[in-house]
Structure 1
Amino acid sequence: MAVIRERRFPKANLTLDLPRQDSTSGSDCRQCFSLPPFPFPQPAAFPTAAVHSGGDHRLSDFEKIKVLGHGNGGTVYQVRHRRTGSVYALKALTADDSLRQQQIACEVQILRSTDSLFVIHCHGVVSAPSGDTSVLLEFMNAGSLESLLASRGIPFPESAISGIARQVLRGLSYLHSHEIVHRDIKPGNLLVNTAGEIKIADFGVSKIMRRSLDPCFSYVGTCAYMSPERFDPDSNSYGGNHGAYAADVWSLGLTLLELHLGHFPLLPPGQRPDWATLMCAICFGEPPELPEFASSNFRDFIGRCLQKDSSKRWSVAQLLVHPFIDGLDEGEFNRTFREIISPATVAVES
């Protein structure tokens, strides 16, 4: 592969992160809004937003509660609006060069322009005296799929994975129909609330296809979840714009398989490899083996996502009507997912 010979990688945008084992196109976007409400009660401890959506705010309007995590190029805090008491997530973005400034501008544009039940909602931009940019986001009070998997300690049942997959696919359907490629789908970027909703977050390395800020197959995001063609963009396997969107499908397939196995699927549990090990596993390794108890529908669904040749990978529109998604039992999903997020509910209320 050409990438093995002489290729330089922008270190600021490429991470090797795996889940912390010890941590406590072309589809009709109208379908993104057809999911019925979940029966989980919304906790009273977190009032609905009282800040005008899309407005500009000041840091002094908020008090920091705690650090929630670190995303692409920024730190995310849990904050409370001093006047209303509403709780939000505040992502403080840092720019240390002109390229990063362009990426921040792109991330802010995406956050302020998207409007989907399955994409994290942006309430506006918060100005700082230093000139740094922060974005005010809805607070997902059950954490991420990564944190839920770590705290649970055992894999997710298929009924839960099917419901998760359908919500993420609807989010991707919306993004792709608006010419946005996420480029960093992974358990840590899929946030959850105790109403049973899963939303796509962290657009720090996302790409608006009609722009040319950087090549769509540049080395950004989390290396472990990159599709094979993103390691070798000189190959003929990525199929133009279809391949750009197909990269998100690969990452989703790995994410769902991780939830099913309880660990990152391409390596032995607990192994934390270097870049070369990951590249070999993704580009040259055999497809991950699923347990014997995995259903035939789930096996086929994952196989459609993890085709090494992106031109053979199913699109989001095709996956949405796959039997693993189309045959979702809403009642079973609600029951199993309530069990999964119940520890998070206890943590929030305490």
Structure 2
Amino acid sequence: MAVVRQRRQLPHLTLPLDHFVLRLPPQPQPTAAPSTSTSDARLSDYERLSVLGHGNGGTVYKARHRRSSQPLALKIFADGDASAAREAEILMLAADAPHVVRLHTVIPSAAAGEAPAALALELMPGGSLAGLLRRLGRPMGERPIAAVARQALLGLAALHALRVVHRDLKPSNLLVGADGEVKIADFGAGKVLRRRLDPCASYVGTAAYMSPERFDPEAYSGDYDPYAADVWSLGVVILELCLGHFPLLPEGQRPDWAALMCAICFGEAPEPPAAASDEFRDFVARCLEKKAWRRASVTELLEHPFLAEPDAAGAQHALAALVAEAEQRGQ
């Protein structure tokens, strides 16, 4: 199996699951850093208030613009990190896409032509779905999960229409607002497909949420679809929200790379709780089809009966209620 032969080339992986991140080797830098405007923004323009998390290639801070007092998220990259220019390019391309986090400003490096030093991003007050689950201390019900799935799919539909693949969809990269709005974030592992059949490197992103064809393209891809891997990742996320823990391994098991590869490529699909609806079970099964060519598309999933509730606003309100509850628990 090709993936086994390549195993020795991969770095040692340790807990937590969010840190099972595999990256591309350094890529050639663009001739100039992208910019959203002619602004001379500098890191000193922003006051860092607290650490929100660690994304692909950088650390994300809750910050405040010193002059305007605007709250925002500030993602600061390591010097020369290739993912900085890639993420800035994707966010500018997706500036009008629904359910994608907004880019306010690209903060250039001191050296001309280098990758951006930081990105000033929209602040989502509810934090990530990973943080929401942790603060709640219990699984989510189907109604708020449907709100997450619908909005994430609308975001993916817009991104895929722009030929953008995310390649690292997971609970910590789905952000939620106080009103229950969900947005996709962290495009450091993303890629703009220049051609329809552009290859997507298998070992980029977080291993725990990778699809089978990204572990072993020869065995699982069939008719190649570079967007199908994002659907698999969303299916894992949706099932995790329902179970309250990472679903592809027994709860509490300390995963390593081999355990994840075996579970994803060879393991049986995990069972949703006994109380789960038939619509939910089928939705997850359509996402977690191991053969990429059999997996449901984003368009098909948006028409799935699990998302057919006429009161989409009510489902989003149910998610907003969970955000408010989690905030109270955290006080």
Verify same fold: TM over 0.5. yes
Distance apart, 1:233 and its partner CA: 1.9
Write the letter of the residue equivalent to 2:279: N
CA contact (8 A) 1:159 1:328 kept: no
* In structure 1, C-alpha distance between the alignment counterparts of 2:146 and 2:266, rounded to whole Å: 28
**1:15-53 deviation digits (Å, cap 9, x = unpaired):** 864269xxxxxxxxxxxxxxxxxxxxxxxxxxxxxxx97
Distance apart, 1:343 and its partner CA: 3.6
Residues 15 and 306 of structure 1, relative CA distance in 2, 3 Å threshold: farther
Pick from 76, 99, 117 the counterpart of residue 118 of structure 1: 99
Report the equivalent of 2:3.
3
CA contact (8 A) 1:160 1:336 kept: yes
Write the letter of the residue equivalent to 2:265: C
**1:207-239 deviation digits (Å, cap 9, x = unpaired):** 111179x94032010000000010012335242
Report the equivalent of 1:91.
75
Pick from 255, 261, 264 the counterpart of residue 273 of structure 1: 255
Write the letter of the residue equivalent to 2:100: V
Report the equivalent of 2:307.
325
Pick from 292, 295, 298 the counterpart of residue 310 of structure 1: 292
* In structure 2, C-alpha distance between the alignment counterparts of 1:170 and 1:9, rounded to whole Å: 36
* In structure 2, C-alpha distance between the alignment counterparts of 1:15 and 1:53, rounded to whole Å: 37
Distance apart, 1:345 and its partner CA: 4.2
Q: Does 1:143 align with 2:127?
A: yes
Pick from 135, 159, 168 the counterpart of residue 143 of structure 2: 159
CA contact (8 A) 2:209 2:233 kept: yes
* In structure 2, C-alpha distance between the alignment counterparts of 1:19 and 1:58, rounded to whole Å: 30
Residues 16 and 206 of structure 1, relative CA distance in 2, 3 Å threshold: farther
Report the equivalent of 1:127.
108
Write the letter of the residue equivalent to 1:223: A
Distance apart, 1:331 and its partner CA: 5.2
Report the equivalent of 1:18.
17
* In structure 2, C-alpha distance between the alignment counterparts of 1:82 and 1:248, rounded to whole Å: 37
Q: Tell me the SS of whatever aligns to 1:234.
A: helix
Please list, as runs of the form range in 1=range in 2, the aligned pairs for 1:266-305 lying within 5 A after superposition.
Answer: 266-305=248-287
TM-score (norm 2): 0.86
* In structure 2, C-alpha distance between the alignment counterparts of 1:320 and 1:260, rounded to whole Å: 19
Distance apart, 1:157 and its partner CA: 0.4
Pick from 186, 195, 203 the counterpart of residue 187 of structure 2: 203
Structure 1 gaps of 5+ residues are: 21-51
Report the equivalent of 1:82.
66
Report the equivalent of 1:107.
87
Report the equivalent of 1:171.
155
Residues 347 and 263 of structure 1, relative CA distance in 2, 3 Å threshold: closer
Write the letter of the residue equivalent to 1:92: I
Q: Tell me the SS of whatever aligns to 2:208.
A: helix
Residues 16 and 55 of structure 1, relative CA distance in 2, 3 Å threshold: farther
Distance apart, 1:104 and its partner CA: 2.6
Please, what is the CA RMSD of the aligned residues? 2.5
* In structure 2, C-alpha distance between the alignment counterparts of 1:338 and 1:204, rounded to whole Å: 28
Distance apart, 1:7 and its partner CA: 4.8
Number of aligned residues: 310
Distance apart, 1:180 and its partner CA: 0.5
CA contact (8 A) 2:136 2:326 kept: no
Deviates more, 1:105-114 or 1:63-72: 105-114
* In structure 2, C-alpha distance between the alignment counterparts of 1:158 and 1:304, rounded to whole Å: 16
Q: Tell me the SS of whatever aligns to 2:218.
A: coil
Distance apart, 1:10 and its partner CA: 5.9
Q: Percent identity?
A: 52
Distance apart, 1:279 and its partner CA: 0.4
Q: Does 1:221 align with 2:205?
A: yes
Structure 1 consecutive aligned stretches of length 4 or more whose deviation exceeds 6 Å: none
Distance apart, 1:85 and its partner CA: 0.9
CA contact (8 A) 2:177 2:320 kept: no
**1:257-281 deviation digits (Å, cap 9, x = unpaired):** 0000111111111223110010001
Distance apart, 1:152 and its partner CA: 0.4
Structure 2 gaps of 5+ residues are: 20-34
Residues 263 and 54 of structure 1, relative CA distance in 2, 3 Å threshold: farther
